[in-house]
């Protein structure tokens, strides 16, 4: 039973792949795979393990031996699911492997933005503390989290964990209705909640209903000192509108861990703006990367391999 990992580098060099090796007869490990290398590397393999490498219909049509695709992530948008089904190839992904890691990162962004950390770091580096007439700098109005209202979009495992952590800081947490399903949801919609929110945190998938969810109109309804955190997917926030609001002083802070195109080979306005005196934090989609989280990906993939083998012999 030959298995091939096409982009092992996405798990990091410090993650032990031995548990996966023990589930297959042979395992070929490739750190990175270019599109033109996919066919040769997967030839004769019964199992493909991928994170972000695209397995499209044209490729799957040329892999008659392939029986299982293990996605080393939650999203399966890089797999042509219809083609896989047509060829009888099972696709298994992993979920909830990084809940603790991403929730921690989310709170980090909230705390840093609430305390205007980007602005005060720039002030200290520029020597403004040295020149101050008294002992502390207090040029930027900070936000105490206790008793503030946090609105979370997405009440899954991750959103629920963020709520638990936020409540430990004394925050009042409200979950918004699922975007696009407000009429059938007992929870209030985001449009209703936005004017009262001190912080909005996004933990929902990117869908037709959530694309551009936080747009100029929604931003205009929010408090001028409200914070916006996106540890979900790029594109849920209209980044250009959010940046304009931040520059205009009608948004108190913005923290994002994802952008619409990753990696941003051609740059992005938010990355350029990180050099400006703004309460802005852009992290490189690394909320999930704690060693524990990445090891969970391996463990859950082993579970998928075992379940697949059991289904074939049962």
Beta bridge partners of 79: 55
How many angstroms separate the CA atoms of 56 and 102, rounded? 29
Q: Which residues are catalytic?
A: 233, 262, 285
CB neighbours of 244 closer than 8 A, spacing ≥ 6?
216
Contact 113, 227 (CB under 8 A): yes
């Amino acid at each position: 039973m030959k298995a091939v990992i096409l982009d092992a580098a996405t798990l990091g060099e410090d993650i032990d792949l031995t548990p996966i090796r023990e589930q297959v007869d042979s395992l070929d490990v490739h750190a990175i795979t270019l599109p033109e290398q996919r066919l040769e590397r997967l030839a004769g393999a019964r199992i493909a393990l991928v994170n972000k490498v695209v397995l499209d219909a044209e490729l799957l049509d040329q892999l008659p031996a392939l029986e299982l695709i293990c996605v080393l992530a939650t999203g399966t948008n890089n797999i042509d699911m219809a083609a896989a089904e047509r060829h009888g190839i099972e696709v298994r992904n992993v979920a909830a492997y990084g809940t603790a890691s991403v929730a921690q990162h989310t709170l980090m962004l909230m705390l840093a933005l609430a305390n205007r950390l980007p602005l005060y770091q720039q002030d200290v580096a520029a020597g403004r503390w040295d020149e101050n007439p008294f002992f502390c700098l207090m040029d930027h109005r900070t936000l105490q989290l206790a008793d503030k209202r946090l609105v979370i979009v997405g009440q899954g495992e991750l959103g629920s964990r963020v709520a638990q952590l936020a409540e430990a800081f004394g925050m009042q947490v409200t979950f918004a209705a699922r975007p696009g399903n407000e009429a059938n949801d007992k929870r209030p919609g985001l449009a209703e909640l936005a004017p009262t929110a001190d912080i909005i945190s996004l933990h929902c998938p990117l869908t037709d209903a959530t694309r551009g969810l936080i747009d100029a109109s929604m931003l205009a309804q929010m408090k001028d000192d409200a914070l916006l955190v996106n540890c979900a997917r790029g594109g849920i926030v209209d980044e250009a509108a959010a940046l304009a609001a931040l520059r205009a002083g009608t948004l108190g802070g913005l923290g994002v861990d994802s952008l619409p195109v990753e990696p941003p080979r051609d740059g992005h306005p938010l990355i350029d703006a990180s050099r400006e005196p703004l309460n802005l934090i852009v992290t490189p989609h690394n909320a999930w990367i704690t060693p524990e989280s990445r090891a969970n990906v391996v463990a859950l993939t082993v579970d998928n391999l075992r379940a697949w083998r059991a289904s074939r012999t049962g």
